[in-house]
């Protein structure tokens, strides 16, 4: 049996990768130019403007407790830490 790939699907795939690549490049460039203003993202690059915020973490190196994030990503970061602390305290009891 011959598998016929949909040419439109291939173009779509190609464009998707192309834009993702451009997106990453834009992100790293922006991070380089404005390290204190570009959101570092939650689980991937985010090109939006962010603010410097204190996370709910206890790193000894105080600087590690800070991040630059936009509202949405910060919410996701905080939710994840809240869950991790929850698990941690449950493990202590």
73 binds Zn ion (CB under 5 A): yes
Q: Minimal CA–CA distance to 54: which of 45, 44, 63, 41?
A: 63
CA 73 → CA 13, 43, 51, 80, 84, distances in Å? 27, 9, 11, 11, 17
Site mask, Zn ion, residues 28-57, x = CB under 5 A?
A: -----------x------x-x---------
70 binds Zn ion (CB under 5 A): yes
Q: Minimal CA–CA distance to 70: which of 50, 52, 40?
A: 50
Q: Which stretch binds Zn ion (CB under 5 A): 6-14, 26-34, 73-81, 83-91?
A: 73-81
Least Å distance between CB 46 and Zn ion? 3
Query: Bridge-partner residues for 54, per DSSP?
Result: 66
Q: Which stretch binds Zn ion (CB under 5 A): 9-17, 25-33, 63-71, 85-93?
A: 63-71
Q: Which residues bind Zn ion (CB under 5 A)?
A: 39, 46, 48, 70, 73
């Amino acid at each position: 049996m011959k598998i016929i790939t949909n040419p439109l699907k291939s173009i779509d795939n190609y464009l998707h990768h192309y834009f993702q690549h451009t997106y990453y490049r834009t992100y790293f460039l922006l991070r380089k130019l404005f390290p204190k203003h570009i959101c570092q993202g939650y689980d991937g690059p985010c090109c939006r403007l962010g603010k410097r915020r204190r996370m709910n973490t206890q790193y000894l190196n105080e600087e590690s407790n800070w991040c630059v994030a936009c509202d949405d990503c910060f919410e996701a970061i905080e939710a994840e830490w809240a869950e991790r602390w929850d698990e941690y305290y449950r493990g202590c009891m």
